[in-house]
């Protein structure tokens, strides 16, 4: 019997080598607002968090400044993504391998949906994903992962990400987690994943193993 299978990915630090395009966009947006641009390490530590956390940590600012900051980042990213944006090596091949296994591919990110669409279209992988969930409705990642599983009527699902939000969302939905050690999460938080990996290309092999265990063949 054919089973419905879904691979749910975080975006930044999992598929998208975020710092290449986002660090310069954030730095330029901060400069436009009169702030000293943050160091790359301080920006990188925030990936996976909602934008309001970026505003609080980098600007210590109010909602109006946060809106201007958001608009500035978006404007600059339309340029930096095309000039510098990149997937992690092996990402496209891994996604193709999962599709060949019959998986539907989804993204669940704490970024807004328009950011997800901008990144995936700029990096040429938009057509590989059938389900996208951003932070637009302010629901937790756990609830949004559940929504993907239910909407896709998935019998077997797996969550892949690089931050504690991803690992927690998998555990709270009773699905296995793959933790990306190459991303932006603290190594200790990623070691809590069911299956930590050091590169995107390892993900397909882990998913294949999990699927075999689930189906028994």
- pTM for the model: 0.91
What CA–CA distance (Å, rounded) separates 170 from 183?
17
Q: What is the dotted CATH code of the domain comprising 5-17+87-215?
A: 3.40.50.1000
Residue matched to tokens 């993204």: 107
User: At a CB cut-off of 8 Å and minimum separation 6, what does 118 contact?
Assistant: 74, 77, 78, 81
Q: Which two tokens stand for residue 11?
A: 């975006």
Decide if pLDDT at 144 tops 80. yes
Using DSSP's 3-state secondary structure scheme, residue 180 falls into strand
Q: What is the pLDDT of residue 1?
A: 57
Decide if pLDDT at 122 tops 70. yes
- Chain centre to alpha carbon of residue 45: 14
Decide if pLDDT at 137 tops 90. no
Q: What is the pLDDT of residue 22?
A: 94
Q: Which two tokens stand for residue 30?
A: 């901060």
Domain ranges of the chain: 5-17+87-215, 19-84
Q: In the CATH scheme, what architecture does the domain 19-84 have?
A: Orthogonal Bundle (1.10)
pLDDT class of 76 with cuts at 50, 70, 90: very high
């Amino acid at each position: 019997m054919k089973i419905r299978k879904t691979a749910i990915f975080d975006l930044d630090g999992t598929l998208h080598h975020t710092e290449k395009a986002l660090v310069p966009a954030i730095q330029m947006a901060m400069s436009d607002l009169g702030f000293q641009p943050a160091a790359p390490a301080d920006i990188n530590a925030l990936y996976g968090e909602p934008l309001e956390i970026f505003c609080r940590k980098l600007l210590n600012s109010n909602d109006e400044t946060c809106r201007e900051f958001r608009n500035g980042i978006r404007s600059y990213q339309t340029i930096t993504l095309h000039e510098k944006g990149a997937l992690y090596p092996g990402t496209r091949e891994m996604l193709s391998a999962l599709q060949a296994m019959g998986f539907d591919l989804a993204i669940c990110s704490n970024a807004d949906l328009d950011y997800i669409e901008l990144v995936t279209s700029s990096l040429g992988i938009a057509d590989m994903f059938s389900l996208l969930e951003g932070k637009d409705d302010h629901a937790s990642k756990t609830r949004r992962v559940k929504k993907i599983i239910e909407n896709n009527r998935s019998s077997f699902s797996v969550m892949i990400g690089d931050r504690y939000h991803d690992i927690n969302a998998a555990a709270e939905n009773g699905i296995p987690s793959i933790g990306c050690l190459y991303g932006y999460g603290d190594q200790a938080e990623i070691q809590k994943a069911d299956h930590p990996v050091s590169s995107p290309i390892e993900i397909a092999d882990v998913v294949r193993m999990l699927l075999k265990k689930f189906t028994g063949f």
